[in-house]
Amino acid sequence: MRIISKLFFVSNFVISKITRKQIWKKVRQKIGNIPHLSIDWDVLTDRFIEPVIWVVDHFADSLGKIFVSLVWLLIQFVVGVAYWIGLSFYWNISAELTIALVIFGHWILLNVVFHYYMALITPPGLPPEAEQIPHIKARCKKCQSVKPERTHHCSICRTCILRMDHHCPWLNNCVGHFNHRYFFLFMAYVVLGMIFLFIFGAPVIVHELSISDASEPIGYPVFHNGSHLLPVKQVEEVSPPRSRSLRRAVSVTVAILCAGILAALGALVGWHARLISRGETSIENLTNKDDREAKRLEGSTFVNPYDYGSYENWRIFLGLSEGRTWWCVFFPSVHPPRGDGISWCLKNDLTHVSYK
């Protein structure tokens, strides 16, 4: 009976709408209430974080270069498999369909490669010298540089970044004001490419897994002597072909890779799209979350001063100004984002200051 009651308690605990922070707080309180058990949570946290900080400080640059190399190798591997297995499959079905798929696929590939390369080489944006912006008095406590609005210090790059979103190890670079668009569009086109591969790659995988394996012959060779079929003794043993099994293994490997990439980047694209619609960066989302909670407890509503509405937020993020249209999103473009990343028009002043 006690076991059943405990299971009932656990099930209610799991399905309840308690946030992870509340759960962790309850766990800490329970442990802290245990007699003769005193835990200094600050010291315990430092013990866990110190090795992570040490690894980041000493190997972040090297790990970043390895991650960047893995991205390029992964792109080449997936494209190579598509040419090797997928192209011949669709060419045997329809030459017109194959040409259309090749054109559409290369449009996606062009955008993936372009936006990833530009996110790599484009500086995220550094604050200028204090003499150039004397009206800004704020200073960074870590690097002592001038600190405009929405600027944050990156402990890996060891400098402040204009409108910093986060440090991306897959870019070996910070994502900031001047390369945020490249980073987001790279992820978006990768997700589109994964969907494209799943739709048109599924028939290829089914075909590769369903056809008979030439490396597994059935029966044995015979010859007809005029009245009977007699077995033939093979003089030379020929090694069985392994092309079919290799194609199967590679097809399944690519499918698993694409599924993992689609799940991870799909969630990340959705998360960043939500932040862009709200006029926030990843860092600002964390700080604004605390401000929202504080305002809620006060009985008021938090207002993000950099939220101009979803449509305008996207236009600002994509740099659609000076006559630029949405075609700049569908094809590679090196146009800069709106603004200099230093001065920002607040929501209440948007009617007086034009971004166009």
Residues involved in catalysis: 168
Which residue type occupies 84? W
| CA-based radius of gyration for the chain | 29
CA distance to 65, 116, 168, 204, 332, per residue, from 99 (Å):
36, 26, 36, 16, 22
Token pair, residue 248, equals 């199967």
CA distance 203 to 6: 49
Is the Cβ–Cβ distance between 262 and 198 less than 8 Å?
A: yes
CA-wise closest residue to 116 among 161, 170, 60, 162: 170
Is the Cβ–Cβ distance between 352 and 137 less than 8 Å?
A: no
Is the Cβ–Cβ distance between 163 and 176 less than 8 Å?
A: yes
